[in-house]
Amino acid sequence: MKSKAARSKTVERKTDETDVFLTLNLDGGEVSVKTGIGFFDHMLTALAFYAGWGMILSVQGDLEVDGHHTVEDTGIALGQGFKEALGDKNGIRRFASAYVPMDEALCRTVLDISNRPCLVFDADMPQPMIGDYDACLTVEFMRAFAVNAGVTLHQKCEYGANAHHITEALFKSLGLALKEAAKVDGSGVTSTKGTL
């Protein structure tokens, strides 16, 4: 019996602003996240948990400036790792959606692993900061991930009054949708074009 190929990838991204090391396994494993931004670590850990990933992530960023480069470059590396770990995409479900409620907030994610990157993001953040995390960086992470993963990603906060709850629902719904869309339950490419 042929063994299933490992869907994993290691990405190292080093710039003058950040140093990112990522090992990603789409089929599970240990999760360890250290970015220097506590709330962002919490969100990435939740993302990995709900996506069913194994993920070892270490980021050294210029946090003395702010969190922007750390968050964006993490999204870039994670998008690249996800795209490469998927391989030829044969048999994946491709499309998925998920709603997640978090107390008073309700958010949804709809995505297509299409190799056509696009982000539509509609989620206002009522508070500017969540601990040491700038709430406006959520859209920057999602954009960097979608572009580098080759994913069409639509996210919307239906309603909510707390930026922590909104952001957590966005990350968790992303994880759930990615888990569903990356599932292999066929043998060919899920496209009438014959390729993704």
Mean pLDDT in residue range 7-26 = 98
pLDDT class of 193 with cuts at 50, 70, 90: low
**CATH of span 8-181:** 3.30.230.40
pLDDT class of 191 with cuts at 50, 70, 90: low
Q: Which amino acid is at 137?
A: L
Contact (Cβ atoms closer than 8 angstroms) between residue 27 and residue 6 = yes
Does the pLDDT at position 4 exceed 50?
A: yes
Cβ neighbours of residue 172 under 8 Å, at least 6 residues apart? 46, 47, 50, 100, 102
* pTM, full prediction: 0.94
Mean pLDDT in residue range 65-82 = 98
pLDDT at 189: 66
Q: What is the pLDDT of residues 92-135, one digit of tens each?
A: 999 999 999 999 999 999 999 999 999 999 999 999 999 999 99
Q: Where does residue 186 fall: left (phi above 0), alpha (psi -120 to 50 degrees), or beta otherwise?
A: beta
Domain ranges of the chain: 8-181
Does the pLDDT at position 2 exceed 60?
A: no
pLDDT at 1: 35
